[in-house]
Amino acid sequence: MKMNNQSIFIIILIVIMSILQAISFETVNASRSIEILDYYWGKAGEEYAVIPGDKNVKLTLVIQNNEDTTICGLEAKIFEKDRSIPYPFRDKDGRNIISSYYDGHIRVGEARSIEFDVSINPEAQPGYYDVNVYFTYMDCEDPDYPVLSTWTSITLRVWDYPEISVVDSRWVTQDDSPTFAGPGDYAKFLKLTLHVPRYYSASNIKAILHLSEYFTNLTRGSIVEEFYTGQVLGGQVFTLRFGLNVAENTPTGVHALRLSLKYYDRWLTEVEQEIQVPV
């Protein structure tokens, strides 16, 4: 049976790491050579959640050179920790090994950011996944440019799907003045304020409010569509307005209507969600 180059590479790395766990080499020691100071989903200076199905997500690693020499030509590879451990990550071309490069020089004690392009398997379960990170680089103060290496592990999180929530529901007039709605009212507007949770974002939001027997849209239909263009960042709110008629036989009190949302997250994955809205 033939094995592809990636499979051979992973097998070789696993063998090397098994040996290095038994004997100590200074050139392969995460605490003395390349240290990962921080890592997160997003470009440098930002942090976002990732969900199953996200593609071309930016993963940033902040690394520090703990060698006693200037290094250059750094290459980093992320790959599965063990074949028995779930690994829902691929590069943008669908390969198991995800590579990134830093071409510049990194002096002793200096920190730099490197970015990976990562795609998440749509079938992935939200949770935490341990992965290996393998570094190779050159000693740029040595005229022979010897190649050094080190490896370590990190834990990547795949988040749950976002839950946009209703934080306020009220009746307003067409000019947005507060009002009340009761049986037989015509052309009243239900104004909803919704909150996007931290680390998520939503853009180009399409909302459909599904009406019960006691409500119709302004043309007597059973649904109302509304759109919100632009992007809403995590921690922010946005508003939607739905024009409604209230049937004369509507019981007084609070009613619950179903709101369907469809939007794109930070990584342009389409997300669908349903919310119960108090009216």
CATH T-level fold of 165-278:
Immunoglobulin-like (2.60.40)
Which string of b and e fits 253-276 if b means at least 16 CB within 10 Å? eeeebebebebebbbebebeeebe
Encode the chain (279 residues) as per-residue pLDDT tens digits: 445 555 555 555 544 444 333 322 233 333 358 999 999 999 988 999 999 999 999 999 999 999 999 999 999 999 999 888 899 999 999 999 999 999 899 999 999 999 999 999 999 999 999 999 999 999 999 988 899 999 999 999 999 999 999 999 999 999 999 999 999 999 999 999 999 999 999 999 999 999 999 999 999 999 999 999 999 999 999 999 999 999 999 999 999 999 999 999 999 999 999 999 999
Which string of b and e fits 180-199 if b means at least 16 CB within 10 Å? ebeeebeebbbebebbbbeb
Other Cβ atoms closer than 10 A to 40: 18
What's the CA gap between 237 and 65, in Å, rounded? 41
Side-chain-facing half-sphere of 1: CA atoms under 13 Å: 3
Q: Do the domains 5-158 and 165-278 sit in the same CATH topology, yes or no?
A: yes
What pTM value is reported for the model?
Answer: 0.81
Residue 200 token pair: 């998520």
Structural domain boundaries in the chain: 5-158, 165-278
CATH T-level fold of 5-158:
Immunoglobulin-like (2.60.40)
